[in-house]
Amino acid sequence: MEEKFDKKPQGDKRPSAKRAPIFKSTENGPDVPDFVQKHKTAFSGVEVINEKAEQSTGGNLKDHDIKKPEKKVSLPPKLPARPKKAIVGCIIRRTLLCIGAFLLFVILSVYVLAFSIAHGPSETIRNTLVMSALQASATKWAPGLFLSQKTVDEIVEESKKIDVDIIDVDDYEADENEWDDAIDGMKLIYDNGTKFKAYVLLIKDPSRVFVGPSFDYSTASYGKRIFDACQAEGAVAAINGGEYPDNGFGTGSRPMGITYSKGKLVWNDANNRTFMGFDNDNKLIVKEGLTKAEGEALGIRDGVSFKTGNLLIENKDGQVTFHYNSGDDGVAQRTSIGQRADGTVIMIVTDGRTASSIGATRNEIIDMMKKYGAVTAGMLDGGSSSMLYYNNYYEKYGIDTSRLDQWQLKGLVNKYKAFTNPRYMPTFFMVKEEAK
């Protein structure tokens, strides 16, 4: 039987074409061409499909109705599923690899930058960074990575050069109403410099200031944190004291340099350091080096030692001398103690290591001491040792506690910035409770 093509499109006037059937039906079935017979095996699928299709359509088999045999595609064998632990381990390894690569990039970038600064054209920037690194015990080693020890020593020596400024003690002006709003016989003042935040504590009665805590340095394994030390001594306020062996993670079990507490010589290792302390007349003594014999002759009751070259302001025969630094000693967290001519004790602590308070220089501390009327002053330990404690100061001064960190809620006035918890230290300048 023959089959016509599908209807032509509407409007097409061309005569309809006829086409020959693909296969003719015979009594023995469809008449299959000879070439198909020769390749019967290959086309067996076609015969079956055509035969079934023709039967189902009543013999009306169209060309597009013929189904071609499906090609069988051989798939690769299915891999066994990876264990869940293996997948998690792979993710962890890749994550650690990415973090490690990032840290390596940061370290290399910092090294290249530091090396460029160390050997660049600006010696001022280089010297500032070197001295700033040397101020902190945890980074004292850093300058040696980029500079020779000889160069570092030259920078340190340059920083020790002093320019002296002298004024008469009578040039200071006293504020008669200053103590009208005092609390606990003290005044806490927040005073910010151009690039640092400072905390100033004025103590009217110098006899209240002493060195603590009291423990046996020769047998102690650890010093004390400022909170615990003040609690043990019943002190209302304190700042960190003198020098102690430290590499950034020290135990603070013993001081360095001659040390007095409550009228007794409690430590003497013969290390020559700048001494800062009070005599029996409650006068602040700051001098380069102090022997046991000199301490007895001066009647020292409390005092500590810190490195050398830390005499900031001295008073001799009514002449006040300011020992300004002509070099660059870097910026850092600082702690200093001073005294007015009327006996008022001045304690200053500055923040550092933050964008809002990068730290203060030696000269800036001198200027601040001068601003508050100091006729005598010395520089104490700094860096992450710099701390000012004042018990319940936020309640006494109406400070919003929601803005304070965990250490400030324990009584720390300044912001503690370090990679570790507050230091264990052997000495503090403490303030007794006000006499009732």
What count of other Cβ atoms lies within 10 Å of the Cβ of residue 22?
16
Q: Is the dihedral of CA 106, 111, 114, 116 positive or negative?
A: negative
What pLDDT does 153 receive?
80
Question: Between these two residues, 54 and 315, which has the higher pLDDT value?
Answer: 315
What pLDDT does 393 receive?
97
386 CA to centre of own chain: 16
Question: Between these two residues, 237 and 39, which has the higher pLDDT value?
Answer: 237
pLDDT, one tens digit per residue, over 71-126 is 566 666 666 666 777 777 788 888 888 898 888 888 777 767 666 666 666 677 77
What pLDDT does 407 receive?
95
Between CA 96 and CA 192 the distance in angstroms is 42
What pLDDT does 266 receive?
96
Mean pLDDT for 366-392 is 96
| Mean pLDDT comparison of 21-35, 46-60, 88-102, 337-351, highest-scoring range | 337-351
What pLDDT does 424 receive?
93
Report CA-CA distances (Å) from 6 to 15, 53, 56: 13, 18, 19
Mean pLDDT for 287-292 is 95
Token pair recorded at residue 178: 């200053």
What pLDDT does 67 receive?
53
Q: Using 50, 70 and 90 to split pLDDT, how confident is the model at 135?
A: low
Between CA 225 and CA 411 the distance in angstroms is 12
What pLDDT does 76 receive?
66
pLDDT, one tens digit per residue, over 183-241 is 999 999 999 878 899 999 999 999 999 999 878 898 999 999 999 999 999 999 999 99
pLDDT of residue 321 exceeding 70, the answer is: yes
Beta bridge partners of 360: 332
Between CA 161 and CA 329 the distance in angstroms is 10
Between CA 90 and CA 260 the distance in angstroms is 61
Mean pLDDT for 282-301 is 97
Mean pLDDT for 163-176 is 86
Mean pLDDT for 150-176 is 82
48's enclosing H/E stretch is helix 40-56
Percent of the chain past pLDDT 90, that is, above it, reads 48
- 215-253 core/surface letters (b: 16 or more CB in 10 A; e: else): bebeeeeebbbbbebbeebebbbbbbbbbbebebebbbb
Question: Between these two residues, 169 and 295, which has the higher pLDDT value?
Answer: 295
What pLDDT does 5 receive?
46
pLDDT of residue 34 exceeding 50, the answer is: yes
Per-chain mean pLDDT for the chain: 82
Q: Using 50, 70 and 90 to split pLDDT, how confident is the model at 342?
A: very high
pLDDT of residue 278 exceeding 90, the answer is: yes
What count of other Cβ atoms lies within 10 Å of the Cβ of residue 77?
6
Contact 258, 273 (CB under 8 A): yes
